[in-house]
Amino acid sequence: MAGKPAIAIASLDEKKRKYLPTKSQKSEKMTLTHTLNVLDEIESLVSDQLQVVSFKWLSRNFSLSSNTAKRLLKDFVEKHGKGLEVVYIVSGCLKNGPSNYSAKLASSTELPEVEKEFNGKYSVHIYSVQASVPMDPAAIWNAEFVQAEDLSRQPSATDNCLRGNRFCGISNSFVKRNIEGTTGNVTAPRTESVRTNAAPAQKGTVLSNQGKRFQHSNANVSHQAKNENNTAPAQNQSAKSSSDNERSLLVPPNKKNGLGEKSVSGTGGLLKNMWGRVPVKTEDESAKVEVKIHINDHSEVQKPSHDADNKGGSEDENQDVNFKRAPKHENRKRKVILDFSDEEYEDADVISLASPSSPKVNSRPDGKFNSEDSCPEKPDAGVSQEITFDEPEIREEDREKTAVDASTTLPMEKIQAIGSEAEVNPSKRRIIEAPSSPKRKKMLKSRIDDRGREVTEVVWEVTDTKVKKEEDTETSKKLNDGKNANGVNRAVAQKKSPAIGNAAATNAGGKAGSKKGGNIKDPKQGNIMSFFKKV
């Protein structure tokens, strides 16, 4: 109900703003025609729209001071008040509590009674006019509150009469409103920053990490993270807030503000490490999606060659391909540090470093140079305590990618294979523990039982990746001959995929990938990859 007249009056407001004389030219009183216009408006609102018009509502709507609005209402009631109900506000000191201030609403019928309760100098003003007083007096407040809500919904940077507190009788020049700190759209800047950071991997990681941290911890600084080249948003913020506050009143609270913001961003960083990883993860996944689009692009380019390779069908070529990539990933492997956290957290930490790694994966021609360049960056990014593990990262990417574009999963599978390869071929690299999920492997074990007979059985064993790797280093580096069952399966899957079709390959690849981490299946359940296995 309040919406309709608000729009009509807003346009009226605009017209007034255009044509009214400037402050210096204005006379002290409103022009007569203007007053009459407003009074007509009030009449239509109250009688036709059945809205409650309080003096505050009037003052905000027509940009009048409260005192003027009160006078206007008084004029209105005198001229058009017939048939309308008026609510008065009586304020002052009560007789039975001489120093206590009291303000009471009263209808016109009870006004004389209420006035008697007050002593000495008290004031009576019209609070509101309406067609009829609602049963619950609190409903008088509704129209005003709707107006306040609309004003509060305006973008934070706009100063309006709610925020500026313009129309009251008291001014306070020491009040300052910090417009910099907005809780505005946080997602937009973040994706932007990731997009541009995906390419220049070096600076990007540091910034995107910082940017994300600040965005999480301090809404005030969030939109400043937009500024990718600004490496110290927090400092800017505090500088601004300190410049805002020159007066003594403001110094303590604003020091706190500045400090608070800093400390919040600081603790925000800590919090993020403690348990904020979950939200970080989701956003980083979105970041990954962004980055993955790049992967897509790269992979599109590379795909024909892949296909060519596969169609060629020669194992050697595949091996070559994989061979080339292995060292790259071995370089990456170097950065793996010990992690005691859950896999989820690994993912989150991994994700933050995903941007340099994924272009590395895809930019094959640049290959080694790229990886070597960006490798040392990782520790510098200040995440040395966190673990990067390619496996889950790639798997994640794979899963996400399958959602994005099923047809281009082929290269992803290859990447997966490479990931496993990298894991498989540590050779002399210093590689520390595996991810926390145990890896199960089907193993043929032969033993002598209590009767002296040799028994060979198939056993699901939880093996240490290290052990597995050691085993594998003994074998040849050829993918297909690797003892890593999953690797074998995947390689086979690669070969078979053009034949079987992409969808199946996707599933196979996906399953193979998930097997790595989540091989906690029922050992009695057969391995589906055995279907593809060459005995």
Partner 1 sequence: MEIDSEKIHERKQSEYNYLDERFEIHKEMYRGQQYSQIYFARLHLMRTLLYSLAPTWKPHLPVCKVLGLEEGKDCIIVGTLFKHMKLKPCVLDEYSKERSVTPLVKPHNFMHPDDNLILEDESGRVKLGGSALSPAIYVTGVVVALHGKETSAGEFFVEDVLEAGLPPQIERPIDLQEDKYVVLLSGLCIGSKSANPLQFQLLVDHITGHLGDEEEQGLAAQIVHVVIAGNSVEFPRKLINGQNLASKDQSTLYEPIKELDIMLNQIAAGVSVDIMPGLNDPANFALPQQPLNRCLFPGSAPYNTFRSCTNPHSFDVDNIRFLGTSGQNIDDLDKYSEAESKLDFVERTLRWRHLAPTAPNTLGCYPFTDRDPFLIETCPHVYFVGNQDKYDNRLVKGSEGQLVRLICIPKFCETGIAVAVNIKNLECHTLSFSTQVRI
What residues from 238 to 257 belong to the interface with partner 1 (CB under 8 A)?
244-245, 248-250, 252-254, 256-257
Would you count residue 140 as binding partner 1 (CB under 8 A)?
Answer: yes
Nearer to partner 1, 118 or 532 (CB): 118
Residue 483 main-chain phi, psi, to 5 deg: -75, -10
Nearer to partner 1, 186 or 404 (CB): 186
Site for partner 1 in 464-483 (CB under 8 A): none
Contact residue for partner 1 among 3, 19, 23, 33 (CB under 8 A): 23
Would you count residue 447 as binding partner 1 (CB under 8 A)?
Answer: no
Stretch that binds partner 1, among 66-74, 402-410, 480-488, 496-504 (CB under 8 A): 66-74
Contact residue for partner 1 among 6, 30, 45, 529 (CB under 8 A): 30
Orientation of helix 142-153 relative to helix 3-19, angle to 10°: 60
Site for partner 1 in 262-301 (CB under 8 A): 263, 267
Which single residue is written with the structure tokens 């309709």?
4
Contact residue for partner 1 among 87, 129, 234, 354 (CB under 8 A): 87
Contact residue for partner 1 among 138, 444, 448, 458 (CB under 8 A): 138
Find the radius of gyration of the CA atoms of the chain: 36
Read off the tokens for 525: 């359940």
Minimal distance, residue 147 CB to partner 1, in Å: 10
Would you count residue 137 as binding partner 1 (CB under 8 A)?
Answer: yes
Q: Within 10 A of 285 (CB to CB), how many other CB atoms are there? A: 19
CA angle 149–153–157, rounded 5-degree value? 135
Stretch that binds partner 1, among 41-49, 106-114, 305-313, 339-347 (CB under 8 A): 106-114
Minimal distance, residue 505 CB to partner 1, in Å: 38
Nearer to partner 1, 8 or 249 (CB): 249
- Nearest partner of 90 among 110, 63, 62, judged by Cα: 110
Q: Which residues contact 260 (CB under 8 A, 6 or more apart)?
A: none
Taking a C-beta distance cutoff of 8 angstroms, is the pair 416, 398 a contact? yes
Minimal distance, residue 38 CB to partner 1, in Å: 11
Minimal distance, residue 311 CB to partner 1, in Å: 51
Minimal distance, residue 264 CB to partner 1, in Å: 9
Minimal distance, residue 248 CB to partner 1, in Å: 6
Contact residue for partner 1 among 45, 73, 144, 207 (CB under 8 A): 144
Site for partner 1 in 116-135 (CB under 8 A): 121, 123, 125, 133
Contact residue for partner 1 among 3, 112, 169, 365 (CB under 8 A): 169
Taking a C-beta distance cutoff of 8 angstroms, is the pair 73, 87 a contact? no
Contact residue for partner 1 among 5, 41, 46, 56 (CB under 8 A): 56
Contact residue for partner 1 among 5, 81, 92, 419 (CB under 8 A): 92
Give the separation between CA 396 and CA 435, rounded to whole angstroms: 14
> What is the rounded end-to-end Cα distance, in angstroms, of the chain?
78
257, burial (CB in 10 Å: exposed 0-12, middle 13-18, buried 19+): buried
Nearer to partner 1, 87 or 529 (CB): 87
- Render 334-367 in DSSP notation, one character per residue: TT-----S-HHHHHHHHHHTHHHHHHHHH-TTTH
**DSSP character for 370?**
H
Nearer to partner 1, 187 or 476 (CB): 187
Would you count residue 341 as binding partner 1 (CB under 8 A)?
Answer: no
Would you count residue 168 as binding partner 1 (CB under 8 A)?
Answer: yes
Q: Which residues contact 141 (CB under 8 A, 6 or more apart)?
A: 54
Would you count residue 104 as binding partner 1 (CB under 8 A)?
Answer: yes
Minimal distance, residue 251 CB to partner 1, in Å: 9
Give the separation between CA 35 and CA 76, rounded to whole angstroms: 10
Give the separation between CA 46 and CA 81, rounded to whole angstroms: 10
Orientation of helix 66-80 relative to helix 55-62, angle to 10°: 110
Nearer to partner 1, 94 or 289 (CB): 94
Which single residue is written with the structure tokens 């007979």?
453
Would you count residue 500 as binding partner 1 (CB under 8 A)?
Answer: no
Contact residue for partner 1 among 14, 15, 145, 384 (CB under 8 A): 145
Site for partner 1 in 201-230 (CB under 8 A): 219
- Render 470-524 in DSSP notation, one character per residue: HHHHHS-S-TTT-S-HHHHHHHHHHHHHHHH-HHHHHHHHHHHHHHHH-----TT
Would you count residue 36 as binding partner 1 (CB under 8 A)?
Answer: no
Would you count residue 44 as binding partner 1 (CB under 8 A)?
Answer: no
Nearer to partner 1, 64 or 234 (CB): 64
Contact residue for partner 1 among 181, 211, 426, 510 (CB under 8 A): 181
Contact residue for partner 1 among 37, 47, 49, 66 (CB under 8 A): 66
- Nearest partner of 338 among 432, 429, 198, 266, judged by Cα: 432
> Which secondary structure element, helix H or strand E, spans residue 94, and what is its range?
strand 85-94
Would you count residue 174 as binding partner 1 (CB under 8 A)?
Answer: yes
- Nearest partner of 210 among 355, 358, 352, 357, judged by Cα: 352
CA angle 317–322–327, rounded 5-degree value? 135
Contact residue for partner 1 among 4, 8, 44, 97 (CB under 8 A): 97
Which single residue is written with the structure tokens 């599109």?
300
> Which secondary structure element, helix H or strand E, spans residue 164, and what is its range?
helix 161-164
Minimal distance, residue 467 CB to partner 1, in Å: 36
Would you count residue 167 as binding partner 1 (CB under 8 A)?
Answer: yes
Give the separation between CA 464 and CA 435, rounded to whole angstroms: 10
